[in-house]
A = this chain, B = another copy of it.
Amino acid sequence: MKAGILGYGNLGRGVEAAINKNEDMELVAVYTRRDPAGLKICTPGASVKHIDALADGKEDLDVLIICGGSATDLPEMTPKYAALYNVVDSFDTHANIPKHFGAVDAAAKAGGKVGLISCGWDPGMFSLNRLYAHSVLPDGRDYTFWGTGVSQGHSDAIRRIEGVLDARQYTVPVPEALERVRRGENPELTTREKHTRECYVVAEEGADLKRIENEIKTMPNYFADYDTTVTFISMEEMKEKHAGLPHGGSVIYSGETGTNGMKHVIEYSLKLDSNPEFTGSVLAAYARAVVRLNAEGVTGGKTVFDIAPAYLSPVSGEELRAHWL
């Protein structure tokens, strides 16, 4: 399976690492909007090309994994390339998924390709677990907790404050809330009761720390609805203790069956050392599925909901039945 990666940020590098763990996959090229000459990748033998090389659909790729941002990159890129290649993306602006799906579906159908959107862990594996749980236990409800992990969007928001040199924001689930949900209490929880936000900030020398802390804690959408702590640290400590991008979380579903109040709790949880490497691994597995489906004649837009699990695995159906059930 010949794969290409479009975009070489954290996620692109995560996909590259994942491809190299899969023996049936080969990274052919990384495509970039930057000057290819300035980009070093980790895979010997794979090329680095300018994004324009993709334009005529003649690149020798079974699948193109598009690693761009959901705000402006993916709405343009994924439909464009879905007309030319089988593609997978990690589009995660929930409100715009139907519109994005419509555009990718039309392009992929016109081009005779498969375009799978919104892949990763949330949306992605977490969505799957919500769907499986609701389908098995229709009388119940799901809770999603994120963290402990780095939110890059929240870290970026802090960095835009005047006087801030660097910042890292951890989303942390509230232990009491988690426990109540795990016990099957089905509590009503406010935003504040579910997660706290812990911020580590490197400030310019002489900056007004009180003002920075206040600007963070009162920032609408990002922090105002949460109990937020702000800790100022040195650049050395930032580099030493906060260089990674760990994340994770839990989808917990609590449902009832029968007429005697039998309760059941289903929990799916992730503890990830590297958010982009795990997300990249999910994208690689779904890239395999997309290539296989297209080889069977399937075309159009897909999400993780549409993919039978067997398509993700290099193991044959016979083997799966004999050893994995």
Contact = CB atoms under 8 A, between A and B. Distances in A.
Number of copies: 2
Contact of A324 (B131, B262, B270, B318): B131
Contacts of A322: 97-98
A106 interface: no
A264 interface: yes
B14 A257 contact: yes
Nearest to A98: B322
A233 interface: no
Which residue among A22, A125, A265, A325 has the maximum number of chain B CB atoms within 10 Å of its CB? A325
Nearest to A313: B135
B277 A262 contact: yes
Interface in A301-318: 303-310, 312-313, 315, 317-318
Interface residues of A, number: 68
Nearest to A307: B308
A154 interface: no
Contact of A325 (B14, B94, B312, B315): B94
Contact of A278 (B42, B138, B257): B257
B310 A131 contact: yes
Interface of A: 14, 17-18, 21-23, 42, 94, 97-98, 101, 118, 123, 125, 127-132, 134-139, 184, 257-259, 262-274, 277-278, 280-282, 285, 288, 303-310, 312-313, 315, 317-318, 320-322, 324-325
